[in-house]
Amino acid sequence: METFLQQLVNGISQGSAYALIALGYTMVYGVLKLINFAHGDVYMFGAFMGFYIANSSWFQATMGSSVLSGVVVLLGAMVLASMLGILIERFAYRPGRSPSPGTLSFWFGILGAGFGYLLGQTPGAVAAGAFVGIMIGVVLEKWGLRPRAQSSSLKILIIAIGVSFFLENGGQQVFGADPKFFPQIIPTKVLDVAGLSLDSQKLTVLGVAIVLMVLLNVIVNYTRTGRAMRAVSFNLDAAKLMGINTDRIIAFTFGLGSALAGAGGILVSLMYPKIDPLMGILPGLKAFVAAVLGGIGNITGAMLGGLIIGLAEVMAVGYGQSTYRDAIAFVILVLILLIKPTGIMGKGMVEKV
Amino acid sequence: MIGEYGSLTGTTATFGISTKNGIEMALDEVNQNGGLLGKTVRVIVEDDQGRPEEAQTVVTKLITRNRVVALLGEVASSRTLAAAPVAQQAGIPMVSPSSTNPAVTEVGDFIFRVCFIDPFQGFVMAKFAAQNLQLTDVAVLRDIKNDYSVGLADVFVENFVALGGTIVADEGYSEGDTDFSAQLTSIRARRPQAIFVPGYYTEVGLIARQAKSLGIEVPLLGGDGWDSPSLIEIGGEALEGSYFSNHYSVDDPSPAIQKFVSDYRARYGQTPDALAGLGYDAAQILFDAIRRAGSTDPVAIRDALAQTKDFAGVTGVTTLDENRNAVKPAVVLQISDGKLAYVETINP
Amino acid sequence: MKRGLLWLGAVLVLAALEPNLRGLIGAYNYQILVLIGINIILAVSLNLINGFTGQFSIGHAGFYAVGAYTSAALVRYAGPSVRVLISSLPTIAQDAVLLLMGLLGAALVAGLAGLAVGIPSLRLRGDYLAIVTLGFGEIIRVLILNIDAIGGARGFSGIPQLSNFFWVYLFVLITIATVHNLVDSSYGRAFVSIRDDEIAAEAMGVDTTRFKVLSFVISSMFAGIAGGLFGHFTMYLHPNSFTFVASFYVIIMIVIGGLGSIEGAVLGAVVFTVVLEMFRGFGAFRLINFSVLLVLIMIYRPEGLLGSWTLIKRRRKAGAT
């Protein structure tokens, strides 16, 4: 019995990790009807940003191991992750909807920087390459190369896949592909409560996840921006007609969702301190399953879905075979899609002819 | 033109990088002394990302596109097993520095290794656990996706039981996992005196931490897959007092080893782990074989390799037996004060 | 008659090329050609379900895997006994029989898998269908990972090399011909009607479920054949080669070429394989450049390289009659 309870605790810890990532997924899908495959990689990016912040000389000098240092790392990672999310939306997804000037310059700039690095390993070479790339982009756009504003979900899905590949492989290049060890900035104490080993760290993580979920709920349901978000998710064109700057709202949604993913990255890395550029792929998928399980577009559903999947996984590993672990999430996915596609907390959908 | 393939990226990146460094040192030494058969030796390095199917692909490329005459690699048995059939079929000799799973050389007579094999290594740790540490109840936590881990675990179990011990739990995980709380909780319930974790350093470090946070205080035991500069960084204090078997010890006072260690430190800024030492030796043995063969014909190299006898390297004296395996002693190391401490040597 | 002659001619050309190709273009390029062929089969078969029937499936790698492992297991385990039976034939014929046996098994089992996945999944639409097929693909992969008899996590080695340029491209031709004939028939019109407007098709009396499942099963059968050809060429199989990333790759192939056209799928497969291989020169930047290229193509030319080209061809053909 004690083992079972312990496994329960383990499952909730694991589940809260998935829940955090699922929150961002569900928001973005709710607003844009887009499965943002790159979301898992934003989570990875957040973890790495936290890693670099915590290892920076400034941090080492001024902060020790304490709650304050944890907050600094968390906020820093969230801000940086949200910036990445907004960048992605601006230069990868928005061009799918509307002619976005500067897209070509952005991407060619990146390509150029990469080439610059390949040819000469100095920062100067990288900057020169980026400059050349940006110029090429400007020229091409002057010549009239514009994005096709043809909105097909398949096209955007493939763009999402492309961005995901880009972040993963770019991460391997920039961060180095070998796993790094995340510094333990929040001290961990093992508490023995009624025969169960509770990690103070895991409790903190669970607590922060709950706080974030509550905050998100407040923003979405009780602020004007939140109302605009809900309007956009209901009907994009109607929202535009009502005077809502949909582009800005969409960017905001991405920023918010990405901030949550970044937070997820930090919190998970505190619990499981190994980080590597590919760490986001599988958790990202599982978090998406969690979002679907809970009812995509529903915030509480996402949290619930994450917990259920975490628990299911831990139980399967604890009482069954560990190689089936990754399949659990997908089996749940298949089951829920076949039984109740709108998810646990979702509403039924009527397809209009 | 020699090919080298290893995991330069991925969860076992230090394996590939250490081995590559060792090979590089040997390469520079040989080229500085006039090369082989009067020519400069070139080594082409490919990254298999730690994935078996990628190992197979890059070895195919090395053989068909780069036309190498011999191959060095891999560290991990599962990757060597994926690539070896290609080399065997193409008739290109392959020397593995540190793949310890017995099945590796069974692929064919072009596949060699310069390290001991797991039937011996598993016996070493079983004997150490039963006789030195006087343990009777041990749990096993193996990487079921990994030939090396599974093979080593099986041998350990067999030997430990034969020496009178009991295996109280046998759990599994997969390379790349980050959460082991479920398995460790099950193990904790059986109250073992130690846990045998024959995995790779990244997971072992995490396992050690999580075991501690679940209140498991017993030491961990392991094999040469633990050997990495990153092991202690990842595992931290949770690894204090744990033991593992390895190919050599940095504290060994022999002059050859000490020179190697100081040269490596000067060049790479790190203490060489066993994989670097084995990489160095594997390259040296291959070069020696080429010299003895007097030609760069793959078959001639293979024949010369098969006759390697009493080659004195930094990881010990290597003789390749009729199964193309090396018969060498193993050392047991303990982690104390955040460093590796030599405990004893066990001879075959 | 003319059709038969064309086929005979094609087979002869392939048979003539096979023994000489390695010498002509080198072992490395030979390997790439074979890979292109396998990718073409995958792309054309996926195009049947994604491009022509409009059902978005991201589980193709699962059927690819099922076919690969089935064929490999059949030949590995049943092969020796069958060889004894046909030992009177020359080795080449023996190999051919074994390969065809394996591929037949692969197609059947993959088709069954397609049936098993298709029936429950095809009730869903759009994004949901995509995700459920992704899920099934992963489940298949994890299942394979756990079956020790076919290597599981260690990989399945020791598969005899039975397939080569000749066989791969023979099946490329078979696949293209089959899909082409299917699309040009009444079945094809049903498929396209489902893609264009499923509800209208249903209202017009088209049994959408039957046709959706049919195209799914045929598509997975060919994916299975591709898998068998793959396994018997690389002589080694590992579940890591069949993740959802592999499914993504096939989708990328058909989108790059242009959805809904066989020529597009072929072109997409060729371009994809060649570009990916060429980018190897960039070393670590290979996949980075590839992904940026992908994003840019999707932004600036989402209809694919061929785009509407084949539509014009088709309309012209219809106008002529």
Quick one: pLDDT at residue B73? 79
Quick one: pLDDT at residue C68? 92
Quick one: pLDDT at residue A350? 47
Residue of C nearest to B56 (CA): C236
Dihedral angle of Cα A56, A60, A61, A64, to the nearest 10 degrees? 150
Distance from CA of B102 to the nearest CA of C (A): 14
Quick one: pLDDT at residue C310? 54
Q: Is C199 on the interface with A (CB under 8 A)?
A: yes
Beta bridge partners of B141: B171
Q: Does pLDDT of B155 surpass 80?
A: yes
Of the partner residues B65, B86, B145, the one whose CB lies closest to the CB of residue C153 = B145
B275-334 tens-digit pLDDT: 888 888 888 888 888 888 888 888 888 888 888 888 878 877 788 887 888 888 888 888
* Residue C97 · residue C86 · CB < 8 Å: yes
Nearest to B329 by CA among B148, B116, B153, B119: B116
Q: Do C240 and B52 touch (CB under 8 A)?
A: yes
Nearest to C165 by CA among C13, C280, C3: C13
Q: Does pLDDT of B194 surpass 80?
A: yes
C89-115 tens-digit pLDDT: 777 788 888 888 889 999 999 999 999
A37-83 tens-digit pLDDT: 889 999 999 999 999 888 887 777 776 666 777 788 888 899 999 99
Report the neighbours of B using a cutoff of 3 or more CB pairs below 8 angstroms: A, C
Quick one: pLDDT at residue A351? 43
Q: Do B183 and A322 touch (CB under 8 A)?
A: yes
Quick one: pLDDT at residue C283? 64
From CA A19, how far away is CA A209, in angstroms rounded? 8
- Of C50, C138, C299, which to mutate for an interface test with A (greatest number of A Cβ within 10 Å)? C299
Check residues C224 and A189 and name the one with the higher pLDDT: C224
Distance from first CA to last CA of chain A, Å, rounded? 54
C241-262 tens-digit pLDDT: 888 888 988 988 888 888 778 8
What angle, rounded to 10 degrees, do the helices at C27-47 and C208-234 form? Answer: 170
From CA C140, how far away is CA C20, in angstroms rounded? 38
From CA B320, how far away is CA B116, in angstroms rounded? 10
Q: Do C235 and B86 touch (CB under 8 A)?
A: yes
Find the mean pLDDT for residues C131-138.
86
Indicate whether this complex's ipTM tops 0.85.
no
Quick one: pLDDT at residue C67? 93
Q: Is A102 on the interface with C (CB under 8 A)?
A: no
Max avg pLDDT among A293-302, B171-180, C215-224, C227-236: C215-224
Report, as ranges of residue numbers, the positions in chain A whose pLDDT lies below 70. Answer: 1-2, 63-66, 148-151, 194-195, 197, 347-353
Local confidence band at C69 (pLDDT 50, 70, 90 cut-offs): very high
Residue of C nearest to B61 (CA): C28
Q: Do C154 and B78 touch (CB under 8 A)?
A: yes
Check residues C293 and C304 and name the one with the higher pLDDT: C293
Q: What is the DSSP letter of A38?
A: T
* Residue B76 · residue B148 · CB < 8 Å: yes
C-beta neighbour count of C124 within 10 angstroms = 18
Residue of A nearest to B14 (CA): A178
Beta bridge partners of B344: B332
Q: Do A3 and B215 touch (CB under 8 A)?
A: no
Q: B339-346 and B70-72 as β-strands: parallel, antiparallel, unpaired?
A: unpaired
Alpha helix locations (H) across chain A? 2-32, 39-55, 57-62, 67-88, 103-119, 123-142, 153-175, 200-222, 224-234, 236-241, 246-271, 281-294, 299-319, 325-339
Quick one: pLDDT at residue A65? 62
Cβ-based neighbours of A88, under 8 Å, separated by 6 or more: A38, A42, A163, A254, A258
Burial class (CB in 10 A: 0-12, 13-18, 19+), A6: buried
Token pair of B182, please?
């479920």
* Residue B334 · residue B341 · CB < 8 Å: yes
Residues of B near A (Cβ–Cβ under 8 Å) read: 8-11, 13-14, 17, 49, 144-145, 171-174, 177-179, 181-183, 185-186, 188-189, 202, 205-206, 209, 212-215, 230, 233-234
Q: Percentage of chain B with pLDDT > 90?
A: 6
From CA B291, how far away is CA B36, in angstroms rounded? 7
Of the partner residues B8, B174, B215, the one whose CB lies closest to the CB of residue A190 = B215
Burial class (CB in 10 A: 0-12, 13-18, 19+), B264: buried
- Mean pLDDT (chain C) is 82
Helix H or strand E segment including C168: helix C165-184
Quick one: pLDDT at residue A48? 92
Q: Does pLDDT of C285 surpass 60?
A: yes
Alpha helix locations (H) across C197-261? 198-203, 208-234, 244-257
Quick one: pLDDT at residue C303? 75
Q: Is B67 left (phi over 0), alpha (psi -120 to 50) or beta?
A: left
C-beta neighbour count of C9 within 10 angstroms = 10
Report the neighbours of C using a cutoff of 3 or more CB pairs below 8 angstroms: A, B
> What stretches of chain B adopt beta strand conformation (E)?
2-6, 43-47, 70-72, 94-96, 111-113, 137-143, 166-173, 194-196, 220-222, 243-246, 311-313, 316-318, 330-336, 339-346
- Amino acid identity at A145: L
Nearest to B311 by CA among B328, B296, B336, B295: B328
Quick one: pLDDT at residue A117? 76
In DSSP notation, C89-104 reads S-HHHHHHHHHHHHHH
Q: Does pLDDT of C312 surpass 60?
A: no
Quick one: pLDDT at residue A353? 43
Q: Do A334 and C132 touch (CB under 8 A)?
A: yes
Q: Does pLDDT of C309 surpass 70?
A: no
Residue of B nearest to A321 (CA): B172
Q: Does pLDDT of B135 surpass 60?
A: yes
Beta bridge partners of C130: none
Q: Do A318 and B234 touch (CB under 8 A)?
A: no
From CA B224, how far away is CA B227, in angstroms rounded? 5
Find the mean pLDDT for residues C136-164.
80
Quick one: pLDDT at residue B16? 81
Report the neighbours of A using a cutoff of 3 or more CB pairs below 8 angstroms: B, C
- Of A181, A315, A326, which to mutate for an interface test with B (greatest number of B Cβ within 10 Å)? A181
From CA B65, how far away is CA C140, in angstroms rounded? 34
Q: Which residue has 């593995």 as its token pair?
A: B96
Q: Do A161 and C132 touch (CB under 8 A)?
A: no
Find the mean pLDDT for residues B114-131.
87
- Tell me the HSE value of A329 on the side-chain side, using a 13 A CA sphere: 27
CA distances from C236 to A132, C11, C76, C227 (A): 44, 28, 12, 12
Q: Does pLDDT of C311 surpass 70?
A: no
Check residues A265 and C29 and name the one with the higher pLDDT: A265
Of the partner residues B8, B11, B49, the one whose CB lies closest to the CB of residue A179 = B11
CA distances from A58 to A273, A275, C58 (A): 21, 22, 46
